[in-house]
Amino acid sequence: MRAKEKRAADSYGDITTQVIDVKGQKLYVATKPGKPGRVPLLMFNGIGANLELGFPFLEALKDTPTILFDVPGVGGSPMPNLPYRPASLARMAKNLLEILGHDQVDISGVSWGGGLAQQFAHQYPRICRKLVLVATSSGWTMVPGKPNVLSKMASIKRYTDKGYMKSIAAEIYGGDFRRDDTLIGAHASGMRPSSNAGYMLQLLAMTGWTSVPFLWRLKQPTLIMSGLDDPLIPVANAKLLHRLIPKSRLELIDNGHLFVVTRPQETADMVDGFLLEPHD
């Protein structure tokens, strides 16, 4: 059963949000229409990130229909009855797509969401046409960032305390945040505090998970994007994904971890170009 659709802030055009009941779990979902005939893009956000943070990128994908939802315990989606794993979240996303009437989509994932995107592509190869991996890794097998950076990333305080977020943004995100200290203000203004429990569920979901055993089996054309100045997920991780995924392309961006946030139009143009390429 769906709640009444609500139009997002006027600055984000045709994006609408609604609460959808997916087999007993309510999910807060954002959708944006696109050009008729285009395959929709289902996006998975980073850890602790509410869907509103993805609105600038969604809007920049002018002709691409897009879907983005808050995972249980984050943003507008209530806590689940039980903890989840990447496989169960992928199944939940598939069930959501069935409710929305889509039998094939492209999949993208940013950072933590990139792991979920890999899992979905592996679990549902007939549904996932193309794959876009942004600033992400293969899970526990990743080449880690510096310990002091990872410890700050793992703390929910960066989402609950905007002052703290501003003080550490350059250190943990790199790239444009090092060059322009006003950027984090715009990013922080869109944050919707996650609960401690919801954030912990996301951390625990990926504990011990890795995509390495199945990456070589992925058949989808894959675009891998990585910032050259990413303190959280060093570029070596993107190179590993590129080496293991057969039909992959690697694009290195002269930026940090959140180039999709600081340069949404440039990133969207690259993604859209890839999605429009002929698919065999």
Active site residues: 111
- Distance of alpha carbon 165 from alpha carbon 170, whole angstroms: 9
SS3 231: coil
- Distance of alpha carbon 19 from alpha carbon 83, whole angstroms: 20
Kindly give the residue spans of alpha helices, DSSP state H, lying in 9-85.
55-60
SS3 5: coil
97, 90 contact by CB (below 8 A): no
In whole angstroms, how large is the CA radius of gyration of the chain?
17
DSSP β-ladder status, 128-134 and 222-227: parallel
- Distance of alpha carbon 67 from alpha carbon 76, whole angstroms: 15
Residues 205-235 as b/e (b if ≥16 CB within 10 A, e otherwise) read bbeebbbeeebeebebbbbbbbbebbbbbbb
Sheet with 25-32: strands ordered across: 6-7, 16-22, 25-32, 66-69, 41-44, 105-110, 128-134, 222-227, 248-253
Quick one: which of 137, 134, 129 has its CA closest to 221?
129
> Which token pair is 54?
């993805």
